[in-house]
Structure 1
Amino acid sequence: MRGALNLLLIMLLALNLRPILTSIGPLLEAMRASTGLGYQQAALLTALPVLCMGLVPLTQPWLRRWLSEHGGMLFGLGAIAAACLWRLQVASAWALIVSALLAGIGVALVQGMMPGLVNRWFPQRLAASMGLYSAALMTGGGLAAVLGPHISEYFQRWQVGLGIWAVPALLAMLAWGVLRPRQAPAQASGAARGHWFGNRRAWLLALYFGLINGGYTSMVAWLPAYHLEHGGTAQGGGDLVGLMTVFQVIGALGMPLLLRHLMDRRPGLWLALLVQLCGFSGLLLAPNSAMGLWVGLIGFGLGSCFSLSLTLTLEHVKTPAEAGSLAAFVQGIGFIITGIVPYITGWLRDVSGDFQASWTLLTLTVVAMLLVTARFVPQGYAGAMARPARGAEVQPLS
């Protein structure tokens, strides 16, 4: 019974981690017409929350001194709900940007704790549980992209399509207060508290996580605009993000299940990256012939990569405390990179006049990650984590 409640709680929390990103794209043109929001400002609506997802987890060793896990979770969910409620009345571009910053801080607090919770609650079913967490996270994003335009059209206000996502955040706050296990998490010390800056493998995992998932933020930010450029509609762009999400969920659930007997994550990551490569190549070479197919392939690859790359990170260390702090570091550095990617792809769109340069950059990134994946040999995890970066030593935090 306790395990089922924990799993339900993980999924309820995860549903709130992407609507603040995916609800933007399908409503972007209406938002721009109403507020004068420019494309560079629009990029901030995606980039700022993702940068928060990077910066906030890096402060975990210090945050834990005054903010408990319970308090941090409530504060994070409350920030998401407050930002969404604010968006119900927002009328200016800068108010939208500040609400994105507030929501990003909330998501960062919740998301930074999630891998540690999964590792602590389901240590014997880590890959499958991480797949369910990833699938729920992506489902929340897909629902926001698909339902947001319908909700806005029904109420005749685009703000409602952004603000309605306060409801699941408030429900998650209630569920966390009622359903969470009452035992306190074990206290960590030294490197287990987050001091991974001097470890080469931790940096490689962080760079890998950031780049391997960089396509997601770019697709969420620019796929609806790309669809409009090719004669589509705002609702059609949202539906494409929804289609991508369906395949993300299939990948996040299906790939760990397909490879559940393998301890080596590289075959799954190689397959996921090759599928992504096919999708981005299709957008480059034949965007009008089968856009749904290319988006589906990209979604499957992205969903698989997110789940497998987090599982790969957690398997590099032995204890839940170490896993939680390493995941915070990897997500911290990784999401900073992931947040920068859509800004770069948006800039490439501005200077080149179309999205082909953006898709080319993402294609080259996938090729590079295919090569980096060879480094992650399971038998070398312990040795890699024991080696500090050149000229650095991993010291315990005082």
Structure 2
Amino acid sequence: MNAHLSRSGALGGLLVVAVAINLRPILTSIGPLLEEIRNSTGLGYQQAALLTALPVLCMGLVPLLQPWLRRWLSEHHGMVAGLAAIALACTWRLFLHSGTALIASAALAGLGVAFIQALMPGLVNRWFSKRLALAMGVYSAALMSGGGIAAVLGPRVAETAGHWQAGLGVWLLPALLALVLWCMARPRSAQERSDPGTGRHFFRSRRAWLLAGYFGLINGGYTSMVAWLPAYYRQIGGSAQGGGELIGFMTLFQVLGALGLPLLLRRLADRRPGLLLALLSQLLGFVGLLLAPSLWSGLWVALIGFGLGACFSLSLTLTLEHLRDKPAAAGALAAFVQGIGFIITGIIPYLTGWLRDISGDFQASWLLLTLTVVLMLVVTLRFSPGGYASAMTTMPSAR
């Protein structure tokens, strides 16, 4: 048995969780402290949207370069560079005071997350090929848990320290911990420079573009909710701490969706039933925010969170299963899908922020997200497992 397979049990799971926890605090720590940040730096809503949009755009651009980056950057060095960039950006946030510097730190942290996020699906696919859906659920749940913890604890840390910078910068600690664990405990196979198939790209594959657009739109509600849910809560009379706790509540149901739905449907080879259930859950939540925003806000947020969590996990699993018998090529496909997808996902909070600016409330933003979910319900029907092989017959190379 290969070294990386023999160590893909508890140790592999620990590494996946330790790294994944660091991939969302740079986004979710902003929303609960947004008013303090805006008052201190003078950022408007559209400018503040860059604090979410820029990292997500980085998450899109870097994976698209992966076929070329892997020629000179190994998986190990990519992980180290990513975790170091996150730690450096969080350290910078402890001391900065201007909006421009804060936006620049968001770009730096986004680059770090992008390096890691481009590598993780392929790594999970390689370590847990026989339990892919469950492993992707654990990865997704850990990723979302990190975001929820940051949203809940960020305002508390800021209040204790007496300045909002502490609520953003404290997340250098889990980044340093993950960096130490990766360097000490990673499977030595992670040092390989590249695997067969990592030099492939999918720019000429129609199915790859469809998967990428699907991933971007199906997860677009997450970046908008992270960016604007706390501000929306404060707009209807809530507090910064309450807004953070609402993100934490959403994250709890994201974790339930990311783990629970794949586990419940683990015997199904067809991912469409799970994706349709997850999208319907999102749809009910966004319709609730439109029609009764202050009546049962907790219920609407829970439904949205459950749907978003399941969608993220299942859409990545769907992508990897298109090339299940070719793990390296599947990892490259996942990098492409995340690349294009996160560019789309990064644009959505900017659009919803713009709608908030011109309309004066968030109802137009929720309407846009509702229409997006309806469109994705229709697209989901195209992903029949029997069509995976024929859809991926064209396998272009980066060379």
- Is TM more than 0.5 here? yes
- Equivalent residue number for residue 374 of structure 1: 381
Residues 342-381 of structure 1, C-alpha deviations (whole Å, 9 max, x = no match)? 0000001111111111100100000000000000000110
Query: Which of 324, 331, 334 matches 2:341?
Result: 334
Looking at structure 1, the residues matched to 316 and 263 of structure 2 have their Cα atoms a distance apart, in angstroms, of 15
- Supply the distance in 1 between the matched residues of 2:398 and 2:154 (Cα, whole angstroms): 45
Post-superposition Cα deviations, 1:126-154, rounded to whole Å, max 9, x if no partner, equal: 00000000000000000000000000101
Cα distance between partner residues in 2 of 1:352 and 1:254 = 37
Superposed, 1:243-282 pairs within 5 Å as 243-282=249-288
Deviations 1:258-281 (A, max 9, x none): 001100000000000001000000
Question: What is the deviation of 1:33?
Answer: 1.2
Matching of residue 76 in structure 1 with residue 76 in structure 2: no
The corresponding residue for 1:219 is: 225
Deviation at 1:397, TM superposition (A): 2.7
1:168 maps to 2:169: no
Q: Distance in 2 between matches of 1:395 and 1:314?
A: 17
Q: Shift in Å at residue 79 of structure 1?
A: 0.3
- Is 1:22 matched up with 2:28? yes
Q: Is the 8 A contact 2:70 2:194 kept in 1?
A: no
Q: Secondary structure at the match of 2:381?
A: helix
Partner of 2:354: 347
Give the superposition deviation at 1:54.
0.1
Q: How does 1:2-21 map to 2 (within 5 A)?
A: 2=7, 3-21=9-27
Name 1:113's counterpart in structure 2.
Answer: 119
Q: Is the 8 A contact 2:83 2:112 kept in 1?
A: yes
In the other structure, the counterpart of 2:3 is none
Tell me if the contact between 1:194 and 1:329 (Cα under 8 Å) persists in the aligned partners: no
In the TM superposition, residue 193 of structure 1 has moved relative to its aligned partner by 2.2
| CA displacement, residues 214-270 of structure 1 (integer Å, 9 cap, x when unaligned) | 000000000011001111111111010000000000000000110011000000000
Q: What is the TM-score normalised by the length of structure 1?
A: 0.97
For the Cα contact (< 8 Å) 1:189–1:397, is it kept in 2? no
**CA separation in 1, counterparts of 2:117 and 2:70?**
15
Question: Counterpart in 2 of 1:391?
Answer: none
Q: Pick from 30, 36, 43 the counterpart of residue 37 of structure 1.
A: 43
Matched, 1:88 2:89: no
The 2-side partners of 1:278 and 1:139 are apart by: 23
1:146 equivalent to 2:147? Answer no
CA RMSD of aligned residues (A): 1.1
Is residue 70–residue 199 contact of structure 2 (8 Å, CA) maintained in 1? no
Distance 1:53 1:309 in 2: 16
- Partner SS, residue 188 of structure 2: coil
Shift of 1:188: 4.0
| Structure 1 residues 198-223: Cα deviation after superposition (integer angstroms, max 9, x where no partner) | 00000000000000000000000000
Who is 2:62 aligned against? 56
3-state DSSP of counterpart to 1:362 = helix
TM-score relative to the length of structure 2 = 0.96
Helix, strand or coil at the partner of 1:321: helix
- For residues 223 and 325 of structure 1, the distance between their equivalents in structure 2, rounded to whole angstroms, comes to 33
Residue 397 (1) aligns with residue 398 (2)? yes
Distance in 2 separating the partners of 1:74 and 1:194? 23
Partner residue, 1:301: 307
Output the CA distance in 2 between the equivalents of 1:301 and 1:293: 12
Which residue of structure 1 aligns with residue 239 of structure 2? 233
Cα distance in 2 for partners of 1:341, 1:61 equals 26
Aligned residues: 391
Alpha-carbon distance change, 156 to 213 in structure 1, aligned in 2, over 3 angstroms: same
CA contact (8 A) 1:90 1:159 kept: yes
CA distance in 2, matches of 1:395, 1:89: 46
What's the % identity of the aligned pairs? 71
Q: Aligned partners of 1:185 and 1:170: how far apart in 2?
A: 23
Offset of residue 396 of structure 1: 2.4
